[in-house]
Amino acid sequence: MFNGRYGMDELSRFMLIISAILFVLNIFVRVRFLWVAAVILLILVYSRAFSRFYDKRRAENMKFLEMKNNFGRKKPGAGAYGGGFQRPGAAKNDGKRVLICPYCKEKLRVPVGAGTIKINCPHCHQQFEETV
For residues 38 and 45, the answer to whether their CB atoms sit within 8 Å is no
Give residues with Cβ within 8 angstroms of 8, minimum separation 6.
Answer: 45, 49
pTM: 0.54
What pLDDT, on the 0 to 100 scale, is given for residue 13?
94
Neighbours of 12 (CB within 10 A): 22
Q: What is the mean pLDDT of each run of 10 residues along the chain (132 residues)?
A: 82 95 93 93 94 91 89 60 49 70 84 82 84 76
107 touches 124 (CB < 8 A): no
φ/ψ of 79, rounded to 5, equals 170, -165
Q: Give the per-residue pLDDT at 92.
A: 46
In this prediction, residue 103 carries a pLDDT of 83
pLDDT of residue 109: 84
- H-helix or E-strand spanning residue 100: strand 96-100
